[in-house]
Structure 1
Amino acid sequence: MASLSLYPSLLHRVVPSGQSFQKGYNGCFKFRFWQYGEWTEVQIDDRLPTQNSQLIYLSSTDKDEFWSALLEKAYAKLKGGYNALNLGLPHEAMADMTGGVTEVFTVPPDHRMLGSFLRPLLQKGALINCGNSKGPSEKRNELGILFGHAYSVTGLETVRGKYQDYIGSVELVRIQNPWGNTEWEGPWSDKKGIEWNMVSAEEQQRVQRNQLDDGEFWMSLADFCQNFEIIEVCHLSEDTLSVSTVKKPWKCTSHHGKWIPQQGPPQYNLTLLEEDDDPSDPELTCSFLLALMQKHTRKRGVLSYVALQIYKARSERDFLTPWDLSQLRPVLGTPQDQRRELVFRGRLAPGHYVIIPSTSETSQEGQFLLRVLTEKANKTTAVERPGVDANLIPPPMSPRLAGLPSVNEARDLFVKHCGKSPYCTPLDLYNLLTESIAKGVFAGSEKKLSLEHCKSFVVLMDSQGMGRLDLIEFQALWEKLRKWTGIFMTFDKNKNQTLDYLEIPPALTAAGIQVDEFIVQLISLRYTEPDMTVSFPGFLFLLMKLDYMMRKFQSFDMTGMGVISVNCRQFLHMTMYN
């Protein structure tokens, strides 16, 4: 809400003007939220939960101001109650309150990368949050930054100062704490920032510096990288953001689509018309964002694995047949991921391309929203499928065969092997998987399973760094293992419970992971048996490592250029704890 309030046009879309406790008051208030490409109105009464005459949840420092508490109640009604708003990531709510496309990044260790990352985002009017989760929630570090707390990034300026006879400049980032107090207390802070003494009053006025305990403060990019861990970005487009100070908002085209069983995924033709105005880009490419959102996942109770692939097209009406897809390699793509909205950023030369959004649930109908954001105008159209022809209907991507027990059956195994503990350790998982494989179609392959495999399965799904999985993390792991099991069974042509060397690349492609000959050679050296085959447990282990490392790389690839920067600690965590 604090980020939203920075732009009145955004705020008034969510909180319609003309509502008050005076004229026309009848106890009813209306709010609007963005849901799957449309704005949905939510009506509430003004009865707010209190305890001892004080608001229990959100409140304003101004005791006569209630818009934020009423907005919170409307959002709680939309999501199923106040408990549904407890914890979570701000970018999810940002999408619901702006209609924007959201991304989450890891803060780079090199502050020089941070400036070049933030500047174009702020120029495009993006809403940016940041936070640090490396400590007890809402407790301060030694310099005043709260852990587990969301801040807004509101500006980036190069400030010039004079020290004795030396005139220099420093790049500073402006940050807002929505609490309105508890500010940064290090260099360039309002309270202890002696550095401002070297900056003229005119320069301070130019960057609109206010020396007040109002939650707004400045800090250097180097200090930002030391004190924040995560950046959440909400990208806004021209039709969402009508602010004259924003120079280059994204151009956006949207498409509502369906996955229909036995028809293969739909296709969309993307024509990139004109390269970006980026003098630092020697290749003259067009930057873009693709956002694939699954619809009504809460109502359906299903959150599928989805992926995006982009192929070079011959024309703006090109439809790629199964034969075409078997002969072509995507120019860009994502591994399959299980999330409500999959966001992918990339760069391509101007020209014609085909976007294919796919799902692992090929036997179920599903709806989605595909959005394409580009710096310059783009033309995106749904490609009409040619007349019905058996040769044009691709086979199911990865049928769910009964290679492993269902998720419900796995839940019973969790209880059986983990006993009264709410956690699954690597040894528990080893015993559980051994039993599951031995009783199924892969009986005998359990001899190839090792405790080392299970240690990797656990740590790669372990979100808390405890070397164990809770039930939710275990179920997410089991979904992945079942999906990959179906792929293994599809490509194990001779049913000998191994994949031959030539069967490995198409199996990885079916899992949404694109590999070249260099990666295949690495796989053959590291993950195959002496006869150059991959066992069933070995295939699951390989997919788990590839899936994790590619998702981790993408979270660090802030610019979409395929290059990341990590410090020694981050490098050791990625390579040693996997």
Structure 2
Amino acid sequence: MAHNQELLAETSVIKFKDQDFNSLRDRCLSRGWLFEDETFPPMASSIGHKLLQGKCLSNLEWKRPQDLSNGPPHFILEGASRFDIQQGEAGDCWFLAALGSLTQNPQCLQKILMVQSFSHQYAGIFRFRFWQCGQWVELVIDDRLPAMGKECLFVRPRKDNQEFWPCLLEKAYAKLLGSYSRLHQGYLPDALVDLTGGVVSKIDLPSSASHLLMAVKTAATEGSLMACSTPKAPTDQEEVMANGLVSQHAYTVTRAEQIQYRRGQEEIICLWNPWGKTEWRGRWSDGSREWQETSDPRKSQLYENKEDGEFWMSHQDFQENFSCLFICAQTPITLDHGNTLRERWSPKVFMNQVILRNTAGGPQSDAHYPFSVQEHTEGTNVVVSFTVTAMPPSMKAENEEFPLDFQVLKGDSQQFRESLPPTFYSPFRNAVQGINYQTKRNFTTSFHLSPGTYVVVPKTQRDAAKFLLRIFLKTPDSDRSWRSNFSLRAQKESLSETSSQQSIFYRYAQQGLDIDATQLQSLLNQELLTGPPGDTFSLDECRSILALMDLQVNGRLNQEEFTRLWRRLVTCQHVFQNTQKSPGVLRSSDLGTAIANTDFLTGISISDELLGLMTLRYSDRAHRVSFPSLVCFLMRLEAMAKTFRNLSKDGKGLYLTEEEWMNLVMYN
């Protein structure tokens, strides 16, 4: 039974082309049809001119997996793995390398794939989710795949397991971008961001050996995505070089280790090629002398001589043969001045921004995004990250460069209290940096800025550009000072003003996707309360709050569920502050007033008898109600009242099975 049924209707994932998976699948099941997607038909237009040009595809057919498999097809069999992926005719190694890294984080991968099957309620329709400019987009496809005979033209399943999730996911991404051709020769950062919603840090090679190895090891442990690329060949085409690497090609970076070799330690890095074979032939490659000579006790765990596309290479060879390493996490990564992945960053998030081209020659006066650097810190302390919306398929290839340029300008604080004068935007006045970067949809750059007030000023050569801007500010460990007395944040620092709910969510969410009860406890206690530990949110209270907001019933809150919670927390904060008769103290006798002052409880009333029971339940011996207790009380009252109204047919009573009753009272 879905709980909080009225609240469930408040939120939904964006439906690509307004196609709803459940209604489309149910219609097909009721009529005995297999889904045929008219928005991405089995035609040459869905493949695209770039991949069709110069090829004889007279035998091309679009087939469903049961027609391509020698046995029953599977969506996922015994877990998803990078070894399920084999690149086909499209040059989309940039996407597959990112996907190969995502398979090492099953929890995040499942949010993209979801639970799907070729047996249970199969109707030829599948759905996937991608992160697009600050929001998750759900997209449906039919399972007709372009094939020559019984061989998929693009990503193909391994013959020994017949898992089709990589083929279907690739088709979904092609539909999102417009065609398979738009997967041909893309950019790693775009795929990394689309699969996670993270921010990409680019580490140019060679880099500091010790810091790089530590960054790779830490990123692997924390589930961050890692991928790298080789330089271009003179012919500007992918070529297998003498050392076994492929030029102008993307690889997944899976881990890094220090291994015993001869009388010392050697640093090695493990990579995977989306081709599924064609491996490095140098030091520490499969069958190499180094693996035969090492006496490291972990050899059997690290090394397996298989033609599966995965191989080890020395740290030095990695830096000499690859041009850059990309790490995608929810906060930036820098390696300057000994900085590591464990830096603390505070993001400012500007969603759904639109900028128009100014034909007069300068940026528009309203396109400015201020931020402040409060304290001096070593190394990189500001990271600016732009994500622009995908371009329509109708745009020509020559217009696919990154559509924004920007500057970071410095000004005194007085200027930002007033409207900015036109002269402020002089391109020569206090300019820190201007960027034009060859990528499609994502760009991130870092700065070391002295304390002061700054503004990001973007401009575009297009008629218009829509984008997400995230500004990450390094936070010193000592930035959160405890006040002498435990209390709520002062009203002038209310939740709606301190920072956006998106930035707080990103700060605590795992991989930027969701938060569990433990993460919610840290968030509430650090963002809502100040002072030495006292009446803080307990883990049990956070589990209760999470259950009330958990529409997907998975024990976690995604960003949409957290947004609904955030609105209620803002209300509860104002109610607590406006109802208390002395600072930090709400008397149990004022609970009735608190209910009347809570806007999300409009139309809900309780009897004096129930109110008396609630004072026993939520107050202490001194008849005081803490802020965490008030939050739990008000939110539970809303959920229970709305659940009754949703389930009751006559508004006077309701009938529940034992299972429905137990699900309701035990989880909510």
Taking the TM superposition and a 5 Å limit, the aligned residue runs for 1:82-93 are: 82-93=180-191
Call closer, same or farther: CA 1:338–1:212 in 2, change over 3 Å: closer
CA distance in 1, matches of 2:354, 2:297: 57
Unaligned stretches of 5+ in structure 1? Answer: 240-245, 276-282, 382-578
What residue number does 1:22 align with?
119
Call closer, same or farther: CA 1:326–1:134 in 2, change over 3 Å: closer
Taking the TM superposition and a 5 Å limit, the aligned residue runs for 1:251-262 are: 252-256=347-351, 257-259=353-355
Taking the TM superposition and a 5 Å limit, the aligned residue runs for 1:226-375 are: 226-228=320-322, 230-237=323-330, 252-256=347-351, 257-259=353-355, 263-272=364-373, 284-295=378-389, 297-298=391-392, 301=395, 304-311=403-410, 313-314=412-413, 318=417, 320-322=420-422, 329-330=429-430, 332-336=432-436, 340-349=441-450, 351-361=451-461, 364-374=463-473
Taking the TM superposition and a 5 Å limit, the aligned residue runs for 1:497-508 are: none
Q: Report deviation, 1:250.
A: 5.9
What residue number does 1:149 align with?
249
CA RMSD of aligned residues (A): 3.7
Structure 1 position 70 matched with structure 2 position 70: no
What residue number does 1:116 align with?
211
Asked if structure 2 preserves the Cα contact closer than 8 Å seen for 1:139 and 1:146, the reply is yes
SS at match of 2:259: strand
Q: Report deviation, 1:353.
A: 2.8
Q: Report deviation, 1:114.
A: 5.1
SS at match of 1:68: helix
Question: Out of 43, 49, 53, which is 2:146 matched to?
Answer: 49
CA distance in 2, matches of 1:12, 1:250: 27
**Cα deviation per residue 1:225-282 (whole Å; 9 max; x = unaligned)?**
3333x3251422069xxxxxx856865432122335685143323244677xxxxxxx
SS at match of 2:141: strand
CA distance in 2, matches of 1:294, 1:324: 25
Asked if structure 2 preserves the Cα contact closer than 8 Å seen for 1:269 and 1:355, the reply is yes
The more displaced of 168-177 and 19-28 is: 168-177
Call closer, same or farther: CA 1:296–1:126 in 2, change over 3 Å: closer
CA distance in 1, matches of 2:380, 2:202: 22
Structure 1 position 131 matched with structure 2 position 230: yes
**Cα deviation per residue 1:137-167 (whole Å; 9 max; x = unaligned)?**
4542222212333211222323233x3xxx3
Q: In the alignment, residue 267 of structure 1 is paired with which amino acid? A: H
Call closer, same or farther: CA 1:9–1:294 in 2, change over 3 Å: same
Structure 1 position 170 matched with structure 2 position 266: yes
Call closer, same or farther: CA 1:143–1:285 in 2, change over 3 Å: closer
**Cα deviation per residue 1:401-458 (whole Å; 9 max; x = unaligned)?**
xxxxxxxxxxxxxxxxxxxxxxxxxxxxxxxxxxxxxxxxxxxxxxxxxxxxxxxxxx
Q: Report deviation, 1:326.
A: 5.9
Call closer, same or farther: CA 1:147–1:296 in 2, change over 3 Å: closer
SS at match of 2:109: helix
Unaligned stretches of 5+ in structure 2? Answer: 1-98, 333-340, 480-497, 501-668
Q: In the alignment, residue 24 of structure 1 is paired with which amino acid? A: Q
CA distance in 1, matches of 2:106, 2:276: 19
Structure 1 position 80 matched with structure 2 position 178: yes
What residue number does 1:95 align with?
193
SS at match of 2:458: strand
SS at match of 1:49: strand
Asked if structure 1 preserves the Cα contact closer than 8 Å seen for 2:346 and 2:473, the reply is yes
What residue number does 1:524 align with?
none
Asked if structure 1 preserves the Cα contact closer than 8 Å seen for 2:171 and 2:180, the reply is yes
CA distance in 1, matches of 2:238, 2:257: 28
Asked if structure 2 preserves the Cα contact closer than 8 Å seen for 1:268 and 1:380, the reply is no
Asked if structure 2 preserves the Cα contact closer than 8 Å seen for 1:4 and 1:11, the reply is yes
What residue number does 1:214 align with?
308
Taking the TM superposition and a 5 Å limit, the aligned residue runs for 1:484-523 are: none
SS at match of 1:169: strand
Asked if structure 2 preserves the Cα contact closer than 8 Å seen for 1:95 and 1:234, the reply is no
Aligned residues: 356
CA distance in 2, matches of 1:336, 1:130: 21
SS at match of 1:78: helix
Call closer, same or farther: CA 1:196–1:296 in 2, change over 3 Å: closer
Query: Equivalent pairs: percent with the same residue?
Result: 28
CA distance in 1, matches of 2:371, 2:111: 30
Taking the TM superposition and a 5 Å limit, the aligned residue runs for 1:25-40 are: 25-40=122-137
CA distance in 2, matches of 1:361, 1:181: 42
SS at match of 1:140: coil
Q: In the alignment, residue 307 of structure 1 is paired with which amino acid? A: F
Call closer, same or farther: CA 1:77–1:220 in 2, change over 3 Å: same
Call closer, same or farther: CA 1:80–1:299 in 2, change over 3 Å: closer
CA distance in 1, matches of 2:287, 2:314: 15
What residue number does 2:104 align with?
6
Q: In the alignment, residue 299 of structure 2 is paired with which amino acid? A: Q
Q: Report deviation, 1:75.
A: 1.0
Q: Report deviation, 1:76.
A: 1.2
CA distance in 1, matches of 2:434, 2:129: 33
Call closer, same or farther: CA 1:216–1:248 in 2, change over 3 Å: farther
What residue number does 1:181 align with?
277
Q: Report deviation, 1:134.
A: 2.0
**What is the TM-score when the length of structure 2 is the normalising length?**
0.47
CA distance in 1, matches of 2:320, 2:355: 44
CA distance in 1, matches of 2:421, 2:314: 53
Asked if structure 1 preserves the Cα contact closer than 8 Å seen for 2:260 and 2:296, the reply is no
What residue number does 1:505 align with?
none
Q: In the alignment, residue 312 of structure 2 is paired with which amino acid? A: W
**Cα deviation per residue 1:75-102 (whole Å; 9 max; x = unaligned)?**
1111112222222333322222222334
Q: Report deviation, 1:42.
A: 0.9
SS at match of 1:179: coil
Larger radius of gyration: 2
CA distance in 2, matches of 1:274, 1:199: 49
CA distance in 2, matches of 1:249, 1:178: 33
Asked if structure 2 preserves the Cα contact closer than 8 Å seen for 1:174 and 1:219, the reply is yes
The more displaced of 298-307 and 86-95 is: 298-307
Q: Report deviation, 1:380.
A: 7.0
SS at match of 1:94: helix
Call closer, same or farther: CA 1:353–1:155 in 2, change over 3 Å: farther
Asked if structure 1 preserves the Cα contact closer than 8 Å seen for 2:412 and 2:453, the reply is yes
Call closer, same or farther: CA 1:284–1:87 in 2, change over 3 Å: closer
**Cα deviation per residue 1:540-570 (whole Å; 9 max; x = unaligned)?**
xxxxxxxxxxxxxxxxxxxxxxxxxxxxxxx
